[in-house]
């Protein structure tokens, strides 16, 4: 019963530890916002605003991307602007998705200005208020950028047959329990506690994870020789290797 309680709390906690737009430095923007008949100056307005928030807007052609973005698409967040049609207002939606097409943030904006160009830009200005300044995490290592495609039936089967597992790890100072939430996500929690020490989310690279720490920092973790390793962010901007050994 206690284990089920811990698991339930852990699942709830993963929502709070979700990835943020500010975790990224690079933003990919489509050549054209498909739901609009014209551009209405939206791309230029969006680009300028995001640069002002310390993001780097990538060229449309991937061959012209910086190496660290091109080598792993999961280092890039994709942005789009959708027309949220309304009779009385100019309304739109700004969306940000990760490399797995998972929604990270959606922000809506509206304007009573009737002219399309001025009104839509005013709506975009409102939507962008919610977008935080870039505070990028450690970049993921290079990958082949291939996506694993699994049939819905096999996904359902895996989910239904996967039993959340728990095992113990320690770095000599902390004793932590590994709790598997689903095939792509697990947490480390202090023994006897339901509060996650760290939440691990699978990336496109085998055995490499995005890790959300309890203090809000996001970093990289990976398996090494049966141990769990976390690159712990330091105050000087460097990272220290923290090894948690299976007990």
CA distances from 17 to 29, 52, 210 (A): 25, 26, 11
Q: Which of 14-23, 68-77, 98-107, 207-216 has the lowest mean pLDDT?
A: 14-23
Report the pLDDT value the prediction gives residue 73, as an integer from 0 to 100.
84
* Residue 108 pLDDT > 90: yes
d(CA 213, CA 242): 13
Report the pLDDT value the prediction gives residue 163, as an integer from 0 to 100.
36
Report the pLDDT value the prediction gives residue 9, as an integer from 0 to 100.
44
* Token pair belonging to 5: 């309680």
d(CA 62, CA 73): 10
CA distances from 114 to 38, 87, 120, 122, 176 (A): 16, 10, 9, 10, 57
Domains observed in the chain: 21-128 (3.40.50), 139-144+162-247 (2.40.128)
Question: Rounded to the nearest 10 degrees, what angle do helices 42-52 and 116-128 cross at?
Answer: 30
d(CA 198, CA 220): 11
* Token pair belonging to 200: 């691990």
Q: Summarize the chain as % helix, strand, coil (round to 5).
A: 25, 35, 40
Answer positive or negative: Cα dihedral of 238, 24, 21, 43.
positive
80-94 per-position pLDDT tens digit: 999 998 888 999 999
d(CA 171, CA 182): 24
What's the chain's average pLDDT? 81
Residue-wise DSSP of 72-89 = -GGGEEEEEEEE---SSS
Residue 229's pLDDT band (cuts 50, 70, 90): very high
| Residue pair 179/162 in contact by the 8 Å Cβ criterion | no
Report the pLDDT value the prediction gives residue 21, as an integer from 0 to 100.
92
Closest CA to 111 of 122, 99, 127, 125: 122
* Token pair belonging to 156: 């359902």
38-72 per-position pLDDT tens digit: 999 999 999 999 999 999 999 988 888 998 888 88
pTM of the predicted structure, to 2 decimals? 0.55
Closest CA to 100 of 121, 120, 117, 77: 77
d(CA 216, CA 57): 25
């Amino acid at each position: 019963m206690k284990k089920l309680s811990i698991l339930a709390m852990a699942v709830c906690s993963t929502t709070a530890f979700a990835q943020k737009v500010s975790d990224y430095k690079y933003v990919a923007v489509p050549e054209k916002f498909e739901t609009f008949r014209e551009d209405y100056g939206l791309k230029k307005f969006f680009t300028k605003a995001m640069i002002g928030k310390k993001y780097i807007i990538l060229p449309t052609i991937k061959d012209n991307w910086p190496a660290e973005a091109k080598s792993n698409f999961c280092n890039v967040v994709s942005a789009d602007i959708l027309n949220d049609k309304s009779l009385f207002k100019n309304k739109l939606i700004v969306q940000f998705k990760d490399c797995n097409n998972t929604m990270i943030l959606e922000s809506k904006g509206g304007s009573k200005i009737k002219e399309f160009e001025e009104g839509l830009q005013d709506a975009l200005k409102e939507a962008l208020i919610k977008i935080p300044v870039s505070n990028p995490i450690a970049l993921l290592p290079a990958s082949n950028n291939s996506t694993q495609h699994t049939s819905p039936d096999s996904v359902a089967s895996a989910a239904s047959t996967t039993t959340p597992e728990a095992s113990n790890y320690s770095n000599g100072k902390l004793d932590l329990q590994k709790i598997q939430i689903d095939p792509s996500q697990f947490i480390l929690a202090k023994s006897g506690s339901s509060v996650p020490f760290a939440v691990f989310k699978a990336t496109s690279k085998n055995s490499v994870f995005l890790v959300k720490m309890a203090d809000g920092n996001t970093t990289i973790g990976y398996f090494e020789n049966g141990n769990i390793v976390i690159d712990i962010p330091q105050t000087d901007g460097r990272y220290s290797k923290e090894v948690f050994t299976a007990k």
